[in-house]
Amino acid sequence: ATRTRPSSWSPTRPSCRPRSENVRGGDTILLKAGTYADLNLTHSSNRNYKFTEEVTIKSADPTHQAVVNELFIRGATNVTISDLKFDYTGVQAPTRSPADRRSVLHRERGRHHA
């Protein structure tokens, strides 16, 4: 049986990070209309987003969708996101030459394996 849980998030709370201990497989989390800075589902030792059943995150009212500026998902399983609008204008990063990109990649690899 699917539980539909109205969200405690509203546009006055700029970041959506579901408390993993309050969300179970089969839940549907509804976001109120408005703009959110981010939606963050990053699995860690204190936040478990590896659900055994599908968890759905969507707008409470599809005709007045919640707007999310940034989405972070890492290590989460069985998550469906629907009826949300994503709007990120961000800042354009400077372009680099291929040689610069290779140099950065090599430095990052060296740090990563150190």
Q: What is the mean pLDDT of the chain?
A: 73
Residue 7 lies in domain: 3-90
Q: Is residue 7 part of a domain?
A: yes
- The tens digit of pLDDT for each residue in 27-70 reads 888 888 888 888 888 887 777 888 899 989 899 999 999 998 88
> How far is the C-alpha of 58 from the C-alpha of 74, rounded, in Å?
18
Among the listed ranges 15-24, 31-40, 77-86, 98-107, which one has the minimum average pLDDT value?
A: 98-107
Q: Which of 94, 98, 50, 102 is nearest to 76 (CA)?
A: 50
Q: Is residue 62 part of a domain?
A: yes
Please, which pLDDT band fits residue 72 given cuts at 50, 70 and 90? Answer: confident
> How far is the C-alpha of 12 from the C-alpha of 17, rounded, in Å?
14
Whether 31 contacts 7, CB under 8 Å: yes
Q: Is residue 47 part of a domain?
A: yes
Q: Is residue 13 part of a domain?
A: yes
Q: Is residue 108 part of a domain?
A: no
Domain count, the chain: 1
- What confidence score (pLDDT) does residue 24 get? 83
Beta carbons within 8 Å of 73's beta carbon, 6+ residues apart: 41, 42, 79
